[in-house]
Chain A
């Protein structure tokens, strides 16, 4: 069966520090991968998605970036965090074809102080 792993679960980082969040999927190949952010009390914001290795589409081109170095690995990064980067970050994967929903990871709670 397919599983998705996301870590760390919580993170407290100072303003200006770098960020690296990792997401891996097991039990499937060539998944579509997504990074979402959920600010407190708000809905889901799509940040990046990827349909293959090295293919990244950005929806919110701020001080965040994403990479997909391997088929089932998706990394969210920042060189210098801002206070406004605080939130709940969710990774998700999806199989190909119509009718498939997303499977989400358990999320990373990031607090920038």
Chain B
């Protein structure tokens, strides 16, 4: 089956620090990979995605590269801001049969950035 493992949180960083949130996956077939962000009290928003090996997704200063050889999709940002404080979810999408692509989510990593 499909699964996503991401680093346990919470993660606390000072403003302007470098961020890495690790994400590895197992999947049948060729998945697409996603990072979602959830700000307090809100729904999830798509942050970035990659659909094939070596693709790099990027948005708002965040980046993640689809590494098929290591089955990983680590999220990085060079300089975090207080406004980046949120929960981050890694996810994969793979065909679950009859063309129904479902997302499998990691458990989420809570990031707190302090001034």
Query: Which residues of chain A from 68 to 103 have any CB-CB distance to chain B below 8 Å in the complex?
Result: 90, 92, 94, 96-103
Can you name the residue of chain B whose Cβ is closest to the Cβ of A9?
B41
| B contacts with A, residue count (CB < 8 A) | 25
A27 lies within 8 A of chain B by Cβ: no
- Tell me whether A101 and B43 are in contact (CB under 8 A): no
Can you name the residue of chain A whose Cβ is closest to the Cβ of B48?
A101
Can you name the residue of chain B whose Cβ is closest to the Cβ of A50?
B100
List residues of chain A with CB within 8 A of the CB of B82.
Answer: none
Interface majority SS (helix, strand, loop, mixed), chain B? strand
- CA gap between A11 and B95 in the complex, in Å: 35
The bracket for how many chain A residues form the interface is 20 to 34
- CA gap between A6 and B43 in the complex, in Å: 10
Can you name the residue of chain A whose Cβ is closest to the Cβ of B89?
A44
What 4 new A-B contacts, CB under 8 Å, besides A32-B100, A100-B32?
Answer: A32-B101, A97-B99, A101-B103, A106-B43
Q: List 8 interface pairs A-B (beta carbons < 8 Å), by A numbering.
A: A42-B107, A43-B105, A46-B102, A96-B99, A98-B93, A106-B42, A107-B42, A107-B43
B contacts, CB < 8 Å to A: 32, 34, 36, 41-46, 49, 51, 89, 91, 93, 95, 98-103, 105-108
A contacts, CB < 8 Å to B: 6, 32, 34, 42-44, 46, 49, 51, 90, 92, 94, 96-107, 109
